Amino acid sequence: MIDWCQADPFWLTNILSPAKLRKQYDRLKIKMDQETPYQSNLPPDTPEIPMYNWAEE
C-alpha cells in the first residue's frame, strides 16, 4: 500500500505519516483495487510485496 500511494501523484502529497495512511487506508484500498495493471503508476518490474494486515492485530 505504501509503495502504491507513494507512486500516485495525488496520494504522494497526502499520505505523509502512518496515522494518515491508517485513516485513509480503506479509500486507498478501493482506489488501488479499481486500477487495472496498465493504469498502475508503479514500474512494471516492481516485485509484489506481501501485505501486512495490521487490522487483524
Give just the sign of the alpha carbon dihedral 44, 5, 14, 30: positive
What's the CA gap between 7 and 13, in Å, rounded?
10
Give this prediction's pTM: 0.56
Are 15 and 6 spatial neighbours (Cβ–Cβ below 8 Å)?
yes
What's the CA gap between 46 and 57, in Å, rounded?
27
Nearest of 37, 33, 40 to residue 9 by alpha carbon: 40
pLDDT given for residue 47 in this prediction: 64
Residue 31, amino acid: K
The pLDDT tens digits of the residues spanning 10-39 come to: 889 999 999 999 999 999 998 888 875 545
DSSP 8-state code for residue 38: G
